[in-house]
Amino acid sequence: MYFQRGTLDDEHIMLILRTLPVDISFADEADVLRYWSGATYKTCDARYVGRDVRDCHPDQSLETLERILQEFRAGTRDTAEGWSQEHGRTKHTRYFAVRDDEGVYRGILEVNQDVTALRTLEGEQALPGW
């Protein structure tokens, strides 16, 4: 597949997605869940792929999800984020409107990351170290 700065084949795309230190899901412009990966979605299974994204969210989050979808579709917002703490870990959740080159809404990307270790960073370490 050709990208703006190079090419990747399907295997490399899969390996990259699997290696990213985040959990992600993607639902298309029709709100159909097309992809998810990572521990965040441990309660999801293959039956949710191809179904409405609302089907795999708990009832208490549906009102917020609906508002995010509406605002992304309308173009009034492109991101939404939140964070939660559970079992001493901090999870950061971000939603991004996915748009094509003409700015047309094509879907929603959810990105979850355990940021517990990031919250402890102090000072500066400009180059990677061990």
Q: pLDDT at residue 10 above 90?
A: yes
Which CATH number does the domain housing residue 91 bear?
3.30.450.20
For position 130, what pLDDT does the model report? 72
State how far Cα 3 lies from the chain centre.
20
Q: pLDDT at residue 43 above 90?
A: no
Domain count, the chain: 1
How many Å from the N-terminal Cα to the C-terminal Cα in the chain? 34
Give domain status of residue 54, yes or no: yes
For position 44, what pLDDT does the model report? 66
Q: pLDDT at residue 31 above 90?
A: yes
What's the domain range around 101? 17-118
Give domain status of residue 8, yes or no: no
| Nearest-angstrom CA–CA distance, 54 and 61 | 9
> What pTM does this model have?
0.87
